[in-house]
Structure 1
Amino acid sequence: MSSPHFETDKEPCIPVLFPDGRQEELGWRDVLLRAHLIKDLALPVPPAASAVLRLLVVMAARVSGLDARGRRRMTARQWAARRRELLAQPAGFDPDAVHAYFDANIWDLFHPARPFLQDPRLASQCPQRAGVNKLVFGRPEGNNLSWLSPHSDSDPQPVPSAQALWHMLIHHYYGAAGQWSVRTVGNRSLSRAKAGPLRSSLSFHPLGRTLYETLLAGIPKPDPSWPDAVDHCPWEEPLPHPDPDDDGDPVEGPDPDAAPPPVSSPGRLLTGRSRHAVLLIPAPDGRHVTDAYLTWATQKKFPALDPYLIHHVHADEPVTRRHRPRRADADRALWRDLDALLLAGDEDDRKGTQAKSGKGRYTVQRPDAFTTLNDLPPDLRAALRVRVYGFDQDGKTKNRTWYTALTPPIWPWTQECDPAAAERIAACRKAAEDIGAHLDRLSQDAWKQTTNSGSPRHLSPWTHSARTLYWPRAEATFWILLNEPARSARAAFAADAIDALRTATRPAIAQHFRAAEAVATALAQLRLRGR
C-alpha cells in the first residue's frame, strides 16, 4: 500500500474568491499562477488567513525576485521600480518561475523526511500524542466541556487534511504558552512552550484589487542588513544529509536547544519564527488527519518586528521591551486604529480605554509594510484598502474570539498624501477616546453614588450599557466629521456620550432614589468636557 500524501502545492487547500463571486480551493502553486485572476483569499478562519497571507507574500517575493536573494543587491529605488514593473504586467507572475520554485521544494504534509512545516522527530521524542481535538481550534479537548461543538476526546473525529493545514498554521503563529506534550531532546525533557509570535495580535495587510496586487503590495521593503542566501523558509532549509537508503526514516533536523539563526527578511521573518512543533498523523489515504503531536519547538526568542503589526514604541524601556504590538480587542472598532496607519508617527498617552496596556507615553509606529506604499502606481494607491485580522487572546492559553474587518480605500488620506485629512482623523479619534474614557469614569461614579457602594471591581451595569451604546454612535459620528472639518469633534462625541448615558440609565431613574441627581451631575460634566 502506498504511503499517504497531501501535496499542498497541488491539492485544493486554500479557498480563494474570484471577481464573479465564485469560490474555489487551490494549492499554493495555482494560487500564485492565478493570483492576477483572484480577487481575495476566502479562508473562513481569520488567523489562518493571516498566516496563509504571510506564506504567500514570501512565495511571491521568491518567484518575483523582490527578495533579491542570490541576485545583485537592489537599492530601494531599484526595488520600487521593479515592483511597479511587475504590477504593470497583466499576466501575473512568470509561470516558469512559479513552477521552478515549487518543483525545488517539498510541500507534502506527510512526507516521511520533510513533512511541510512539521518535525518528523516528534514521533520518537514525544511519548504521547496530543489528539486531533487539540489540533483543531474551537473543539473541546481534555476535560473541557463541549458547549458549542459536538466533538469529544472519547470519539475524536478526523479533520480534512486541508483544514488540518489551516489549524497547524494557527498553532505556529498564534499558539498558546504553557503545558504541551513532553518532548525529550538529548537528556532534557520539557513540556512548556512559549507563545507564538503573533499571539493576541492585530494584523494589517494592504489589499489590492487582485490577489496579485495584494501580494506585491505586502512584500516588506528591502533592507541593506538582509542576509542573502541564508534567508531560508522552513521548507527551504537544506536537508542535513541525504537519505541514501530511502527507507522513510526521518533525517536529523535543527537542534531545538541551539541558538536560532538571525531573523532575516522576508523568509525567516514571516515564516520562520514559530515556537511550536507539530507532526500530523494521517489516515491511510492522506485525505484526513486523525491525530497529531503538538509540543515546543524552541525556548529561544526571535527578536524581530512583524511588518504587519502596529507597534507602540516606549523609548524609556529596555530594548527587549521597547516595541509592543497593539493587541487584538474584539470590543474595539477598526476605525479607532486608522490614524495609526495613516500617520508616520503619533505620540499618545496610555489612559482611558488603553489603561489596561500600561502607563507612560509612547510613539505609535505604523506597520513596516506600509512605509513603501506611496511608491505604488497612483491608480492602485487610490483603490488600496486594508484587511485586518484579529485574534483576541490572552498572553498564554485563553482564546476569546477571532475576527476580520476591511477598511474603505484610505490611502489618499495618509500624512504623505493629505496631511490635513490625516490630522483630522487623528484628532477625531483622540476626541472620541477622551470622551469615551470620561463617560466610563462618570458612569462608574454615578453608579457608586446611586447604590452607595464602594468602587466596583468590574464595569458597573450603567458603564457597560453606556459604553455599548456610545461606540457605535461615535463611529457614525466619526465618518460624518471627516466631511465637516469645521465642526467640533469634542462637542459631537460628547453629545453621543450624553445620549448613551441617558438611554442606559433611564430605567434606573424610577427605581433608585438618588439616580436622577447622580446622572444629572454626570451629564453636566460631559457637556463641560465637550466644550
Structure 2
Amino acid sequence: MLTARGHGTRVTLVHALRHADGLRAVSAKTAGETVALLEYLLAVCYASTRCPTTRDEWLGWVRDGTPLTGAADWLDGRPDEHWDLFHPTEPLGQNALLAPYLDEHGAGPAQLVIEHAGDYNQFFDHHHLEHPTPLPADAAFRAMLTQHAYGPGGRARMPGKETLGPTLTNLAAGRLSTRIRVVALGTTLGDTLRLNLVPTAEDPGRFNRTWTVAPEPRRGFLTKPSGRRVDGPADLNTVLGRSILLRPTVTEDGTPAVDRVLMAAGELLEPLGHHRTQDAVYDGEGAGSADAKPLRPSATKALWREAHALYAAVADRTHGPDLYDRLALLRGRRLSLWAVGLIAKQTTVVTWVSDTFPFVPGRERDMRYAAERGSLIADHVAAWLFKAAYVAWTVTYPNPKPGDKDRQIARFDARPEHWAHTAEPFHTLLDETTAAGTEERVDAALVAYAAELADCARRFLGNRLDSLPANSRGMRARAQAVRCLESGLTGRTAPDELKEDRE
C-alpha cells in the first residue's frame, strides 16, 4: 500500500499504475521513501515490457499521455504469493535464509527505518532498536524499499560467524545513498513515471522479487564477493541492497504489522555506467570526464547552491543521451526537477535533503546563467559577511586566546542568517527567469535579487553587532565592520549586479 496525493488515500501498486493519470503523485513520510516508491513503480513498468524503447517513442508517450495500464495488468496477473511480504520461503524483497536467526538476533522495527536506526555501526549499544512497538506492514514495505536503495554503510548487529558467514555484517552503502537523485515531476503520477522511464530495447532483466529466487545464485557471506553486473532496468530499480527479514504480527485492531526485523549485508554491484544513472548531475570540474562522480548531498551546502550544475546538465549537449537530453525535447513545457539526497556523517544518518527547481526546455541556458550568477552573488555576500565579522573581532578582542578565536568570531558572523534567508529569493529568481522572455528581464531579475541579498546582509550584520558595548571600542568595531561589508558589496571585485544596484 502507498499513499497517493489526489485521492488523499492509500492505494495498491496496481491501482496506482492503473489510475496513474488520475493521481497527482505518490507521497511518503520522507523524500527518500517517495523516491524509492517511484523507483519500484518504474521497475514494474520495465518488467512488464510495456514501456518506450526509443527516444522518439518516449516523446510520443509523454506528449500523448500513454496509459500505464499495461504495467498494471502485468502486475495484477502475477500470482498473489509472489507479492506476499510474509511468505515463508519467498518473502517479498527479503532474504528467507535469515529465518533461523530472526528471533534471537532480530531487533525492533525501528531498525528498518533509515532515519530511526541512528548509527549504522550497530555493534554499539543500541537500546532504542529493541523497542517492540509494531510497524504497520505497509509502512514496513516502504521502509524496506528505502533501505534497499539508500541504506548507509556500516556494520550489522547480527554475528556473522555464528550465522551465515563473517561478511554478513558488512553493510554496503546503497546505490542512491551517496548521490543526489533527480526526478522530473509531471502534473500527475502517470506523467511523472513517463518522464522518468528510460527508453531502452534491452531486456528488462530480473525483477528482484525475493532473495531466494534469481536466475543465478546470489552472493554468499563467507567472503566478500565481487560486485555483480546489473542486467537491465528492472534489475537496477529492485536491487536488494540489504538482506532483510521481517517477522509478522497483528495489532490489536487486526492490522498486519511487523514486530521484529533482522537486517544484514545485501547485494553488491559493479560500478554503474552512465546509462544506468541517467539522472546524475556532475559539477563543473567533473562533468564530461571518464571518472566524473555525481554530485553528493552536503551537510554544509544547500541543494539550491548546486542548481547551476542541474541546469548545466541540460544546457551542455555533449554528454550523450540521458534524462536531460530527453527533457530538452519538450520545448515550451514547464517542468519541475526534484533533487533528493541523504546526508550521513560517516555511519550516522543526519537528514534527508530535497529541493525543487523549475525548468522550461529551451530556456536552459538562461536558467543556468541565472543559477550561476545567483550562486556567485550569494557566495560573494557570504564571504564579505565573514570578513566583516573578522574585522569586528580584531577590534573587540585585541588580545584573544587562540582557543577562543572561532567562538568569538562566530559572535559577529551573520552567514547563518544569510544562507537561511537566501533560499527563498534564489527560488524567486529562478521562477522569474523561467517566465522572462528576454535577456534584459533576466538581468533585471538578477539585479533585484542582488539588491535584496545586500540589504539583508547589512541588516543581519547590524543585528550581530548590536551585542557590542556602547563604548569607543564597540563603536569603532561597528563602524569598521560596516565599512568592510560595504566595500565588499560595492567594490571593484563585487559582481556587477551588486554594483549596479548602487549606481
TM interval, short-chain normalised? 0.7 to 0.9
Q: Which of residues 252, 255, 269 in structure 1 aligns to 2:220?
A: 255
- The aligned counterpart of 1:289 is 258
User: Which string of whole-angstrom CA distances, capped at 9 and with x for unpartnered residues, describes residues 48-87 of structure 1?
Assistant: 10111011112123335337xxxxxx5x3xx522651575
Q: Which of residues 210, 216, 224 in structure 1 aligns to 2:194?
A: 216
Q: Which of residues 391, 401, 418 in structure 1 aligns to 2:342?
A: 391
- The aligned counterpart of 1:276 is 242
- Does residue 204 of structure 1 match 2:182? yes
Once the two structures are TM-superposed, the CA of residue 162 in structure 1 deviates from its matched residue by: 0.5
Check the 8 A contact 1:390/1:404 in 2, yes or no.
yes
Once the two structures are TM-superposed, the CA of residue 47 in structure 1 deviates from its matched residue by: 0.9
Over 3 Å counting, the alpha-carbon distance change for 1:411 and 1:46 in structure 2 is same
Unmatched 5+ stretches in structure 1: 1-12, 68-73, 145-150, 242-250, 348-362
Stretch deviating more after TM superposition (281-290 or 53-62)? 281-290
Once the two structures are TM-superposed, the CA of residue 95 in structure 1 deviates from its matched residue by: 7.1
Q: Which of residues 306, 311, 324 in structure 2 aligns to 1:342?
A: 311
Q: Which of residues 131, 148, 155 in structure 2 aligns to 1:179?
A: 155
Check the 8 A contact 2:94/2:210 in 1, yes or no.
no
- Does residue 503 of structure 1 match 2:503? no
Check the 8 A contact 2:114/2:151 in 1, yes or no.
no
**CA RMSD, Structure 1 to Structure 2 (Å):** 4.0
Check the 8 A contact 1:312/1:326 in 2, yes or no.
no
Residues in 2 aligned to 1:366 and 1:337: alpha-carbon distance in whole angstroms = 21
Alignment of 1:118-517 (within 5 A): 118-124=94-100, 128-139=105-116, 152=128, 155-181=131-157, 182-184=159-161, 188-222=166-200, 226=202, 228=203, 231-235=205-209, 239=213, 254-256=219-221, 257-272=224-239, 274-283=240-249, 287-298=256-267, 301-305=270-274, 306-312=277-283, 322-327=292-297, 332=302, 334=304, 336-344=305-313, 368-375=322-329, 382-394=333-345, 396-408=346-358, 410-415=359-364, 419=365, 421-452=366-397, 453=400, 456=406, 460-461=410-411, 462=413, 463-476=415-428, 479-480=431-432, 483=436, 485-486=439-440, 487=443, 492=448, 494-507=450-463, 508-509=465-466, 510-511=468-469, 512-513=474-475, 514-517=477-480
- The aligned counterpart of 1:359 is none
- Does residue 15 of structure 1 match 2:3? yes
Check the 8 A contact 1:193/1:276 in 2, yes or no.
yes
Once the two structures are TM-superposed, the CA of residue 180 in structure 1 deviates from its matched residue by: 1.1
Once the two structures are TM-superposed, the CA of residue 282 in structure 1 deviates from its matched residue by: 0.8
Residues in 2 aligned to 1:215 and 1:113: alpha-carbon distance in whole angstroms = 32
Check the 8 A contact 2:381/2:457 in 1, yes or no.
no
Alignment of 1:512-527 (within 5 A): 512-513=474-475, 514-527=477-490
- The aligned counterpart of 2:47 is 62
Over 3 Å counting, the alpha-carbon distance change for 1:488 and 1:427 in structure 2 is farther
- Does residue 30 of structure 1 match 2:15? yes
User: Which string of whole-angstrom CA distances, capped at 9 and with x for unpartnered residues, describes residues 252-296 of structure 1?
Assistant: 854354434312441233222x43221111115770000100111
- AA of the residue aligned to 1:465: E
Check the 8 A contact 2:208/2:238 in 1, yes or no.
yes
Residues in 2 aligned to 1:277 and 1:338: alpha-carbon distance in whole angstroms = 36
1:16 partner SS: strand
Residues in 2 aligned to 1:464 and 1:89: alpha-carbon distance in whole angstroms = 45
Once the two structures are TM-superposed, the CA of residue 443 in structure 1 deviates from its matched residue by: 3.8
Residues in 2 aligned to 1:465 and 1:432: alpha-carbon distance in whole angstroms = 16
Residues in 1 aligned to 2:76 and 2:241: alpha-carbon distance in whole angstroms = 30
Check the 8 A contact 1:340/1:365 in 2, yes or no.
no
Residues in 1 aligned to 2:371 and 2:116: alpha-carbon distance in whole angstroms = 41
What's the TM-score once normalised by structure 2's chain length?
0.77
Stretch deviating more after TM superposition (497-506 or 363-372)? 363-372
- The aligned counterpart of 1:70 is none
Once the two structures are TM-superposed, the CA of residue 120 in structure 1 deviates from its matched residue by: 0.8
User: Which string of whole-angstrom CA distances, capped at 9 and with x for unpartnered residues, describes residues 152-173 of structure 1?
Assistant: 5564200100011121122112
Residues in 2 aligned to 1:60 and 1:16: alpha-carbon distance in whole angstroms = 18
Higher share in helix:
2
Residues in 2 aligned to 1:451 and 1:397: alpha-carbon distance in whole angstroms = 41
Over 3 Å counting, the alpha-carbon distance change for 1:366 and 1:342 in structure 2 is farther
Structure 1 runs (4+) deviating above 6 angstroms are 140-144, 363-367
Stretch deviating more after TM superposition (153-162 or 399-408)? 399-408
User: Which string of whole-angstrom CA distances, capped at 9 and with x for unpartnered residues, describes residues 475-513 of structure 1?
Assistant: 445555674743467755553343233212324255334
Once the two structures are TM-superposed, the CA of residue 317 in structure 1 deviates from its matched residue by: 12
Once the two structures are TM-superposed, the CA of residue 140 in structure 1 deviates from its matched residue by: 6.5
Over 3 Å counting, the alpha-carbon distance change for 1:114 and 1:432 in structure 2 is farther
- AA of the residue aligned to 2:296: R
2:14 partner SS: helix
- Does residue 116 of structure 1 match 2:92? yes
Residues in 2 aligned to 1:37 and 1:136: alpha-carbon distance in whole angstroms = 30
- The aligned counterpart of 2:124 is none
Once the two structures are TM-superposed, the CA of residue 218 in structure 1 deviates from its matched residue by: 0.5
User: Which string of whole-angstrom CA distances, capped at 9 and with x for unpartnered residues, describes residues 310-358 of structure 1?
Assistant: 2337559996x53133315586254x444433334679xxxxxxxxxxx
Residues in 1 aligned to 2:273 and 2:426: alpha-carbon distance in whole angstroms = 36
Over 3 Å counting, the alpha-carbon distance change for 1:442 and 1:109 in structure 2 is same
Unmatched 5+ stretches in structure 2: 122-126
Over 3 Å counting, the alpha-carbon distance change for 1:162 and 1:330 in structure 2 is farther
Residues in 2 aligned to 1:301 and 1:459: alpha-carbon distance in whole angstroms = 47
- AA of the residue aligned to 2:349: N
1:309 partner SS: coil
Once the two structures are TM-superposed, the CA of residue 31 in structure 1 deviates from its matched residue by: 1.3
Check the 8 A contact 1:431/1:489 in 2, yes or no.
no
Check the 8 A contact 2:228/2:268 in 1, yes or no.
no
User: What is the aligned length?
Assistant: 461
